[in-house]
Amino acid sequence: MELAELTDDRVKLLVSKQEDWFCDTNAGRLMDISCGNQTYIWGYSHFFISAAIQWSQRNVSWVNYKASESCEQVDKLANSMVTDSGLHSVAWAVSGTDAVELAFYLKNLYHNANNPNRQEVLCFSPGYSGTSFLPAILRGDFKMPWCHIVDTGIWPTIDARASYEETTLQKVEDLLKTNRNIGTVFMESMPWIEKFRPWSDTWWQSIRQLCDLYDCLLIVDDVMGGYGKTGYHKFTHRSMDVMPDLVTSGKSLTAGFSPLSSVCMTEKVTRAVINKFGFSHTWSPNLSGVAAANYINKNWAEDYAWAHVNEKFNILIADRLRSGHIKQGWYQGLVCSMELINPITHLDLIQAGIMPSGFGLYYDANHLTICVPLLAYWNVTDAEIYWDNLNERLDRALGNT
């Protein structure tokens, strides 16, 4: 079905018991917990976004000389990104990977202008960061002398997080102290590659302090974490009350409807790069991405959804702890992860009417991770439909009924 064909009633159907959007290979009807487009939207979507894209494609001319700089729509988006991030300026890219590449390019320009010897980088494993050569280096797939990877370990319980973080922070400090060529610390705002293990507030503050102490730039890769998944702010660092020097955004920036990503940066980085970074991608900032992002900004679901989701996760985890189906659970923003006591299979989920759908709901090694679609809150007057269905089907999948 085309997104453009969706009406409010259709959306209600998608999150209700009678949905008919996704079928398994036996034509069994499945609820896609993420309500479609899963991975890229990761919790943020609205079918009117495609209407906004179509409108702008018809109504905004992009053929004028330097139209991209002068266009009202781009200015509007740039202004809101600067305001929401609390940073000074924004540069555009196409995908999340591309934003990470751009952030590294900008930090190189910055160090060239200040101290060219400080191009080395400290980053963390496990991590992801994208599909190109640079992220592969940052993940440790290819060894480069300028890239220092600190293994964070994977905390087994939420209680163990503090000691894992403490040990890692010590390794970070040791490296920064002994290697003054490291001029940048790069971290993902929400490491997800190993069952979604969010950093603590203390971690964020300590990393910032270490960067200040050793005069390093802090790059936060918020491609996965931003737009509500780690809290009600569009940028994770605002929820953590810590300012990075550069921050990448992608995916949910356009709710996955169009390729657009960005790097926001501080004034000091902007000043160092302003006359050196004078070009842009062929497609960037592309019209459809800008229109989609502006539409999202205009309709950003306010406090109601965030508070409600957290309340619901709290109950969801407490109920399943009580029923003895999970060992532990944690959540942040729109994302929740639970460690199950008894293993289930993808078939159990499918038979309970849940589609394991990328990151909207995924199950791996006894961990079930759920990202709530804000679609369930947009124009669907009763978000309870989503929660009732989720709870009922989860119970079935975990063997409760």
Q: Which is nearer to ligand PLP, 80 or 254 (CB)?
A: 254
Q: CB of residue 37 vs ligand PLP: minimum separation in angstroms?
A: 14
Using the contact rule CB under 6 A, the part of the chain among 66-74, 92-100, 371-379, 391-399 near ligand PLP is 92-100
Contact pick of 84, 165, 188, 245 for ligand PLP (by CB under 6 A)? 188
Site for ligand PLP in 229-268 (CB under 6 A): 250-251
The SS3 of residue 181 is coil
Half-sphere exposure of 65 (CA within 13 A, CB side): 0
Q: For residues 234 and 386, what is the distance between their CA atoms, to the nearest angstrom? A: 23
* Cis previous bond, 244, omega within 30: no
Could you tell me if 8 and 379 are in contact, meaning their C-beta atoms sit under 8 angstroms apart?
A: yes
Contact pick of 15, 31, 78, 100 for ligand PLP (by CB under 6 A)? 100
Q: CB of residue 266 vs ligand PLP: minimum separation in angstroms?
A: 20
Contact pick of 19, 120, 221, 245 for ligand PLP (by CB under 6 A)? 221
CA of 142: how far to CAs of 101, 127, 171, 271, in Å? 16, 14, 21, 32
Q: For residues 371 and 346, what is the distance between their CA atoms, to the nearest angstrom? A: 17
Q: CB of residue 359 vs ligand PLP: minimum separation in angstroms?
A: 8
DSSP assignment of 106-127 equals: HHHHHHHHH-GGG-EEEEEES-
Using the contact rule CB under 6 A, the part of the chain among 93-101, 196-204, 269-277, 368-376 near ligand PLP is 93-101
Shortest-Cβ-distance residue relative to ligand PLP: 96
Q: Other C-beta atoms within 10 Å of 399: how many? A: 12
Q: CB of residue 369 vs ligand PLP: minimum separation in angstroms?
A: 13
Residue 120 found at the interface with ligand PLP (CB under 6 A) = no
Q: For residues 237 and 241, what is the distance between their CA atoms, to the nearest angstrom? A: 6
Residue 38 found at the interface with ligand PLP (CB under 6 A) = no
Contact pick of 15, 169, 217, 223 for ligand PLP (by CB under 6 A)? 223
Q: Which is nearer to ligand PLP, 128 or 232 (CB)?
A: 128
- Tokens describing residue 140: 């440790």
Residue 123 found at the interface with ligand PLP (CB under 6 A) = no
CA of 327: how far to CAs of 239, 250, 342, 392, in Å? 27, 33, 9, 19
Q: Which is nearer to ligand PLP, 36 or 353 (CB)?
A: 36
Q: CB of residue 99 vs ligand PLP: minimum separation in angstroms?
A: 7
Q: Which of 41, 109, 96, 50 is nearest to 245 (CA)?
A: 109
Contact pick of 224, 246, 305, 338 for ligand PLP (by CB under 6 A)? 224
- Tokens describing residue 246: 């550069």
CA angle in degrees (0–180, nearest 5) for 362-381-384: 45
Contact pick of 36, 130, 183, 231 for ligand PLP (by CB under 6 A)? 130
Sheet containing 367-371: order of strands = 326-332, 335-340, 367-371, 361-364
Q: CB of residue 283 vs ligand PLP: minimum separation in angstroms?
A: 13
Q: Which is nearer to ligand PLP, 369 or 389 (CB)?
A: 369
Residue 198 found at the interface with ligand PLP (CB under 6 A) = no
Burial class (CB in 10 A: 0-12, 13-18, 19+), 56: buried
Q: Other C-beta atoms within 10 Å of 392: how many? A: 16
Q: CB of residue 190 vs ligand PLP: minimum separation in angstroms?
A: 8
Using the contact rule CB under 6 A, the part of the chain among 17-25, 221-229, 346-354, 368-376 near ligand PLP is 221-229
Q: Which is nearer to ligand PLP, 33 or 224 (CB)?
A: 224
Residue 129 found at the interface with ligand PLP (CB under 6 A) = yes
Binding residues (CB under 6 A) for ligand PLP: these are: 95-97, 100, 128-131, 188, 221, 223-224, 250-251
